[in-house]
Structure 1
């Protein structure tokens, strides 16, 4: 097997994808999300040159009336 290039990917090639725990632990949903994101990146067959970085949402907002905590999706990090 040829030696792999140990150099990191060039900057700006990482793609963050935010998912809830419900989605993150469901393989079929993760496959569908990956295909959807790759399609939006312009190549539905591969992510060569891109690093897909899945982030599990662990941010919550609390309704002050009911005190119910709800996951916040799409927070700016």
Structure 2
């Protein structure tokens, strides 16, 4: 498992796995749903990819907050090991 998911890796996952074209470089303040336009299906795909390919499983309390999270919040949750 990669101990830390950085912006570059996150952008690569979003673009390649979720088929989302990120028009500009991320600042980290973009909301996953509204800023990156990740709908429920894409958020689910992101979670599945993070779990299967990187070993990250978000705790239940984090799952409920996922649509309102920013990129920074998600990456910080993963870095703090707020995973099951």
TM-score (norm 1): 0.32
TM-score (norm 2): 0.30
Q: Which has the higher strand share?
A: 1
Q: Which has the higher contact order (CA 8 A, sep 6+)?
A: 2
Q: Which has the higher helix share?
A: 2
